Amino acid sequence: MKRLKTLLATVALGSAAPFASAIEIIVPAYFYPSWMPSQNEWHQLSWAAQQGVQVTAIMNPGNGPGTASNSDYVASVNEFRAAGGKVIGYVYTCYGVNHCTSEVPPTRSTGEVLADAQKYAGWYGVDGVFLDEMATQSSALPFYQTVSNGLRAAHPDWQIVGNPGVTPTAGYTVLANTLMSFEGSYTDFIGGSFLSGLTNAASTGAIVHSVATVAQMQQVMGLARQYGLGAIYVTDGTMASGNPYLHLPSYWAAEVAAAAVPEPAQAALLVAGLGVLALSRRRRSV
């Protein structure tokens, strides 16, 4: 009986331990890290990382790294990374063929993209970059090959995340660790062809906005797991608000829980403990 109590105590400790993430959450953290703790959503990112969930935050001080280091970002980035999170820097790329329509100036060179990446490295010690406005057509491949080669030469351990928003042509997959090949609404994610046409799911991610309820979020997370997606972000922010990524979703804690699963060793220990308990009860009833 003493051995049984010891085993169950161990099970209880194991089941109370942090969770291991089954899927990475890549968060467009386009919100300012306020110096007021109650208004700093980066603290919520740190909390999520402390749960053992794989959380990567995309920092974006000023549609890129900005013109100088920012002390509020430095403090929040350091806190988040100390909690176990990863930070990647937002860099827009104008679709690789000078197709920016809302930027000033409306063109980008590979040198400018790499220079922005280097600013993030020097000012914030980031873990990689998020290449937004990524092209999908083969004609833009040389642009992204140059960028990818430059990033990997300078920072071999960096995480490169590209955001074409749709599935690109062959050739893009090898240029990044993860491609966010879906960026769209809940309706399009559930009813569209993205999931059924998946290839290289483990290195593919999705950003899903306009997901209004916890139940819908859990449905999206469940499908992401079912199809083996490597990364996901789900939010109740909408395009009608102008930018759905200016705040964390209202159900952030539930999303973190949906991304986590018990450690396999802990789960096995729990099953073993319950089996011993059932056997003991059976013997006592005989």
**Judgement on whether residues 49 and 105 belong to the same structural domain of the protein:** yes
Q: What digits encode the pLDDT tens for the residues 15-59? A: 444 444 479 999 999 999 988 878 899 999 999 999 999 999 999
Q: What does pLDDT average to over the chain?
A: 86
pLDDT band at 270 (very low <50, low <70, confident <90, very high): very low
pLDDT of residue 105: 61
User: Looking at residue 40, which CATH number applies to its domain?
Assistant: 3.20.20.80
Q: How many domains does the chain have?
A: 2
Residues 92 and 5 in one domain: no
User: 283 and 164 in one domain?
Assistant: no
What pTM did the predictor assign?
0.84
Task: Determine what percent of the chain is predicted with pLDDT higher than 90.
Answer: 75
> Based on the domain organization, do 237 and 127 belong to the same domain?
yes
Q: Are residues 190 and 238 in the same domain?
A: yes
Listing DSSP states for 11-41 in one string gives HHHHHTSPPEESSEEEEEE-S---SSGGG-T
pLDDT tens profile 120-129: 999 999 999 9
pLDDT at 100 over 90: no
Residues 80-96: b if buried by 16+ CB within 10 A, e if exposed: bbebbbbbbbbbbbbbb
- Same-domain status, 146 and 276: no
For residues 67 and 149, state if they share a domain. Answer: yes
Query: Residue 262: its pLDDT value, please?
Result: 53
Residue 4 confidence (pLDDT): 34
pLDDT above 70: residue 103: no
Per the model's pLDDT, the better-predicted residue between 11 and 119 turns out to be 119
Domain that holds residue 177: 22-262
Residues 6+ apart with CB under 8 A from 284: none
Sequence-distant (≥ 6) Cβ neighbours of residue 225 within 8 angstroms: 22, 23
- Are residues 223 and 91 both part of a single domain? yes
Residues 135 and 11 occupy one common structural domain: no
* 141 plus 230 within the same structural domain: yes
Check whether residue 285 and residue 253 sit in a common domain.
no
Are residues 168 and 31 located together in one domain of the fold? yes
